Amino acid sequence: MTRTAALAAPAPQYLKVKNHLREGIAAGRWVAGDLLPSEAELVAQFEVSRMTVNRALRELSQEGLVERLQGVGSFVAQLHRISSTLTVRDLHEEIAARGHRHEARLQLLETVKATPEQAADFQLKPGAPLFHSVIVHLENGKAIQCEDRLVNPACAPDYLGLDFTQTTPTHYLLEVAPLSEARYTIESLLPSEQEAKLLGISKREPCLVVKRRTFSRGRTVTTVRLTHPGSLYLLEGSFQA
């Protein structure tokens, strides 16, 4: 087969099934804990063999998107518990795992009107209300993260009433809006004047800045800018094929 013919060849049948389920999970058609269509239903829908459907579900299970229970069926996995190169992990748990003490200092908690850019991120109209928080996280008394976050009130209506010295935004949001997708950018940047002041560092100290947007049931739940002093923070992860 020539290279041109190979590029034009139709996708394998199992990929059609796999992509259908993956896209449905990402769009919120099925959320964490939902029972997916049975193998028999997928066989009938796509007019393929049971072996083809089994392969699609097996690969989704290996990727951590699906949990399969013999004799019961296949369920959407609790995605916020999946290990990946960049897990959405509660910072309190991360610090506790090192045997250290976590402390959070709330700097700002308010309702704001979405700018056009923010409205586009949340698929809302400009001027729509968003919750806004700024929190400094400390490890053994040393500031290691400035968290500047916007939250969709429709996904987390109780956000403004929480005590963020007792729980973290990440912990709360993963509970009320199970994660279906997360998008990241990671950059080495100088801190803003406010970030430098809150972190107790020089405005000339490079920082590791993670910008993250997370989704649940097809809706944007939150956007957050996480700024870490480069000399104090190491971003770690793992990958398993």
Separation of alpha carbons 198 and 200, rounded Å? 6
Are 145 and 105 in contact by the 8 Å Cβ rule? The answer is no
Q: Residue 103's CB: how many other CB atoms inside 10 A?
A: 15
* pLDDT of 61: 84
Q: Which tens digit of pLDDT belongs to each residue from 30-44?
A: 887 889 999 999 999
- Residue 231, burial from CB neighbour count under 10 angstroms (0-12, 13-18, 19+): exposed
Quick one: which H or E segment has residue 26? helix 13-26
Of the two residues 10 and 152, the one the predictor is more confident about is 152
* pLDDT of 239: 40
Are 134 and 148 in contact by the 8 Å Cβ rule? The answer is yes
**Where along the chain do its domains lie?**
3-77, 81-229
Lowest mean pLDDT segment, chosen from 56-70, 81-95, 103-117, 199-213: 81-95
* pLDDT of 233: 62
* pLDDT of 87: 55
Cα dihedral sign, 177-179-183-186: positive
Superfamily of structural domain 81-229: Chorismate lyase-like (3.40.1410.10)
Confidence class of residue 88 from pLDDT cuts 50, 70 and 90?
Answer: low
Nearest CA to 178 out of 161, 163, 156 is that of 156
Q: Residue 200's CB: how many other CB atoms inside 10 A?
A: 11
* Amino acid in the structure at residue 11: A
* pLDDT of 4: 41
What is the pLDDT averaged over residues 184-190?
A: 88
Q: Which tens digit of pLDDT belongs to each residue from 160-174?
A: 999 998 889 998 998
Are 91 and 170 in contact by the 8 Å Cβ rule? The answer is yes
Please tell us whether the domain made up of 3-77 is placed in CATH 1.10.10.10: yes
* pLDDT of 10: 59
* pLDDT of 11: 67
Vertex 133: Cα angle to 226 and 136 (nearest 5): 50
The answer to pTM > 0.75 is no
What is the pLDDT averaged over residues 189-206?
A: 94
Confidence class of residue 236 from pLDDT cuts 50, 70 and 90?
Answer: low
Of the two residues 67 and 83, the one the predictor is more confident about is 67
CA atoms within 13 A on the CB side of 159: 28
